[in-house]
Structure 1
Amino acid sequence: MTDTSTLPIRPVPPRQLAWLRTEVSDWASQGLISPEQADVIRTRYRSDHHTRSSIGRVLLLLGGGFVGIGLIWLVAANLDQLAPVARFGVVTGLWLVFLVGGEALAARNASPALVGGIRLLAALGTGAVVFQAAQSLQVPAFEPRLVGVWAAGALLHGYLARAYLPFVVGIVTGLGWWFAQPMWDAQSGLTVVVLLGAAAVLAAGLAVLHDRRLDTFARTWRTLAGGMALLALFVAAVPDIGGGGVEWSTWLVVVLAMAGLSAAAALVVHPGQRALEPLGAIVVLGAATLLALWSTGADTSDVDAADWLHAAVSIGAYVALAVALVALGTVREHPSLSWMAMVGLVVFTTFQSFAVFAPIVTGAWLFVVLGTVFLGTGFLVDRARRELVQALDTTTDSPDSTDTTEGDVR
């Protein structure tokens, strides 16, 4: 008999543990496994109450955040009384305290909420160090490149420590840099569409690269890819959004190259079904660009056949994307993708319906038309989801569906 004392004990969510124990008892009753094997399986798992949010965790996180922000605020309010070098030293010292303290607490297996709060402060402190250094060097504080340096530092912290909250800070600040830097000198609607589509390609490629390595990070990248794809098609469908053309710059070429490299790396590492994600994002980028270039005029009081055709094609493309995201959410067991697709479809369809139908039908008839559109698109999406779930239930799980290393969620 196997010595259970040498087996690693894995923490799992309480609901998952209850399901597992029920299944193990069922297997033992059917003779699929022996009672001894059932006991071995049960002893390998324990309930981990830290996997779900609780009031205590929220209060610890909020408390740490408020204390840290208060300390930074007190220092910032008195920075004018210090020399530039002293200011930089104070801010850097606080950042190092949070950075080293968070990792020290993590090494001692402290409360995940406390560790997460300190790591969050360290990630925010990275930005404070960057902006304070820029001020000391007489660099304008409003330049996007400073946000880019902050994002790079937070992402580096997140990946080196496998810490989720610094990773999220890096994602948020990185998104700000992604759009602000290429549009710093000149802005256009088509450039926004291209940036949204390129962000979807970059995030989709990174999601695939993170699969089976850092699954928590992969889910975040996949969620970001879906959101950027939905936004790209939404903005592209705005009448005459691409009339100004693309404002090319060195940074726009850089971000497009980053997206291309991410997709290419994903295709090389995972040439199978997972490669469909970055390829689908590339298709969305192309479709959004073409829709934005298709100008039918911005006068909503004069809707002609071209406007109807543009709206129909836009809705069809958006429905196809929504169905694809629902399918992806089902296959990857990522419900937020499915909900995001459904909410986006409702908002987009409402926007298009008012833009096209409102000048023609008013009052109660407008709601009838809207309801008909919602019923049609909802039926298509729900039927596709049901057929996909049925197909998955009748097939065996592939080896790619197994998950391995999880990222640190703190």
Structure 2
Amino acid sequence: MNTLTKLNQWLQAGLITPDQYAAISAFEAENQPRSNGWLYSFMILGAVIIGLGVISLIAANWANITDSTKLGIDFSLLFVLAVGVFWQYPNRRHGVWFEVLLVGFMLLCLASIGLISQIFHLGGQWYHALLFWATITLLLSLFARSLFTRFFWVTLLLQGLVWSLVDFTIPDIWQHWKALPAVLLLAPLLSATLYYATFPVKTLRGFSTSLYFWFQITAMIALAAIDIARSGGEMTEYQIAWFVPAYIAAGLLALGILSHRHYRWLNKLLLLSALGLLLLYFHPDWLFSGQSRYSLFGSQAHPTVGFWQADDIRAPLLTLAILFLYALHSGNSGRQHTFNLVTFVIGLRFVILYFQAMGGLAATGVGLIVSGSLIIGMTWLWYKSRERLRAWTTGLQA
């Protein structure tokens, strides 16, 4: 709902006068930032295509070009782009060219790292290069006005930082794919930690939106991955040492939650509880054995395993508990879109749990009718109750 729509509603409801309506409309029209998203996209796309063309020409004649020529061309392009960025700096508030040249310069910095590494035969992994690139371009990214530029920088920073930290505890991680859960756990914890770290420093707050986005995406991926692995009896052979970076990030995240000035004690308690359950979820053997499974109507129920001891029952219940805690926090914090998303995921997990437990029954005609009716009923119930639930969570007392 845009500003003009709200103003019309307020005017019709008698909350503002026509004079106030005109004054607010004039102010918003004068201070409204220009919506140049499509222009940024096509300009940056054109710059990327030109860059690919240059790379293709160079690659076709790579063996015939001397190292000094390669470096000379590279630094000349860097100099030209740097001059262009400096020239467009006064227009950065609404200037499209400033953002295009800035992104081009940052991309060329990354390409220069690869070129220098190739010419001088330097060692290191690709994520080390990303981390170094993010370090040297941090000050440049602070001048960006476009969300795309900041999102681009944050994305590559998180990639380099996550894989570099995991590399300390898991050498040659590419040959140990069982260690992937350590990466999946570290990614959301690190994103959330950096998200809270941006609040005390005003110049870093421009990165908070991108960090929050990646926190939610990586958290959902991590939760889905561990749910599938635990329900299937996987992840029985891995070492606790692989998760040391994640545990350090979790400790820093807990400090960030406790020190957040705008959180009430209920929000802090909900987030810390969800964090504790997530760490328990990923722990090697505290809760999950990897051998016990239970099926209500299937043929693979273990005769010595009770309903509450089975991994494929504990896993979804733990997933639902984590989602429920985070949904309460989102609703209590006024994050309506996040609350709607999380409550929808909760309903979806309930449906999947139903099919897990009633797999044999759901395969029959009557079972399909019951299953379809259940999905429709839960969807309608969620749609009709989401605002009431959000209002309840918002009204929880501190």
TM-score, length of structure 2 as denominator length: 0.72
Task: Please give the alpha-carbon distance, in whole angstroms, between the structure 2 residues aligned to 1:148 and 1:228.
Answer: 19
Structure 2 counterpart of 1:335, from 312, 319, 337: 337
Aligned residues: 376
Structure 1 counterpart of 2:216, from 223, 226, 232: 226
- Alignment pair present for 1:283 and 2:276: yes
Aligned position for 2:300? 303
CA shift in 2, pair 1:138/1:61, >3 Å: closer
Task: Please give the alpha-carbon distance, in whole angstroms, between the structure 1 residues aligned to 2:96 and 2:336.
Answer: 24
3-state DSSP of counterpart to 2:291: coil
Structure 2 counterpart of 1:217, from 204, 207, 212: 207
CA contact (8 A) 1:240 1:297 kept: yes
Task: Please give the alpha-carbon distance, in whole angstroms, between the structure 2 residues aligned to 1:392 and 1:99.
Answer: 50
CA contact (8 A) 2:191 2:211 kept: yes
Question: In the TM superposition, what is the alpha-carbon distance from 1:290 to its structure 2 partner?
Answer: 4.1
Task: Please give the alpha-carbon distance, in whole angstroms, between the structure 1 residues aligned to 2:176 and 2:382.
Answer: 33
CA contact (8 A) 1:96 1:122 kept: no
TM-score, length of structure 1 as denominator length: 0.71
> Where does structure 2 lack aligned partners over 5 or more consecutive residues?
none
Residue type at the aligned position of 1:294: F
- Alignment pair present for 1:21 and 2:12: no
Cα RMSD of the aligned pairs, angstroms, is 4.4
Task: Please give the alpha-carbon distance, in whole angstroms, between the structure 2 residues aligned to 1:71 and 1:323.
Answer: 51
Task: Please give the alpha-carbon distance, in whole angstroms, between the structure 1 residues aligned to 2:76 and 2:64.
Answer: 17
Task: Please give the alpha-carbon distance, in whole angstroms, between the structure 2 residues aligned to 1:90 and 1:389.
Answer: 58
- Alignment pair present for 1:198 and 2:199: no
Q: Deviations over 1:167-188 (max 9, x none)?
A: 3233333343355442442466
3-state DSSP of counterpart to 2:210: helix
Aligned position for 1:8? none
Larger relative CO (CA 8 A, sep 6+): 1 or 2? 1
Aligned position for 1:9? none
Aligned position for 2:239? 246
CA contact (8 A) 1:147 1:173 kept: yes
Question: In the TM superposition, what is the alpha-carbon distance from 1:294 to its structure 2 partner?
Answer: 0.9
Q: Deviations over 1:94-142 (max 9, x none)?
A: 3454455346435324865544433332332232122122223312464
Aligned position for 1:83? 66
Task: Please give the alpha-carbon distance, in whole angstroms, between the structure 2 residues aligned to 1:384 and 1:324.
Answer: 18
CA shift in 2, pair 1:394/1:191, >3 Å: same
Residue type at the aligned position of 2:259: V
Once the two structures are superposed, the pairs formed by residues 138-157 of structure 1 within 5 Å of their partners are: 138-140=121-123, 142-157=125-140
Structure 2 counterpart of 1:294, from 277, 288, 291: 288
Task: Please give the alpha-carbon distance, in whole angstroms, between the structure 1 residues aligned to 2:221 and 2:114.
Answer: 30
> Where does structure 1 lack aligned partners over 5 or more consecutive residues?
1-14, 399-410
Residue type at the aligned position of 2:3: L
CA shift in 2, pair 1:288/1:129, >3 Å: farther
Aligned position for 1:268? 259
Aligned position for 2:172? 185
Aligned position for 1:11? none
Task: Please give the alpha-carbon distance, in whole angstroms, between the structure 2 residues aligned to 1:100 and 1:253.
Answer: 44
Task: Please give the alpha-carbon distance, in whole angstroms, between the structure 1 residues aligned to 2:96 and 2:3.
Answer: 22
Task: Please give the alpha-carbon distance, in whole angstroms, between the structure 2 residues aligned to 1:296 and 1:255.
Answer: 22
Task: Please give the alpha-carbon distance, in whole angstroms, between the structure 1 residues aligned to 2:321 and 2:328.
Answer: 11
Residue type at the aligned position of 1:51: S
Aligned position for 2:147? 164
Question: In the TM superposition, what is the alpha-carbon distance from 1:18 to its structure 2 partner?
Answer: 0.7
Q: Deviations over 1:54-91 (max 9, x none)?
A: 4x454333223322332344344444333334423433
Aligned position for 1:405? none
CA contact (8 A) 2:162 2:187 kept: no
Question: In the TM superposition, what is the alpha-carbon distance from 1:267 to its structure 2 partner?
Answer: 2.7
Aligned position for 1:7? none
Residue type at the aligned position of 1:222: Y
Task: Please give the alpha-carbon distance, in whole angstroms, between the structure 2 residues aligned to 1:97 and 1:332.
Answer: 47
Q: Deviations over 1:1-43 (max 9, x none)?
A: xxxxxxxxxxxxxx5231343256357x55x6694x5554333
CA contact (8 A) 2:193 2:249 kept: no
Q: Deviations over 1:327-361 (max 9, x none)?
A: 55554546367447735863x66766666654786
CA contact (8 A) 1:201 1:225 kept: yes
Identity between Structure 1 and Structure 2 (%): 16
Aligned position for 2:34? 50
CA shift in 2, pair 1:371/1:185, >3 Å: farther
3-state DSSP of counterpart to 1:50: coil
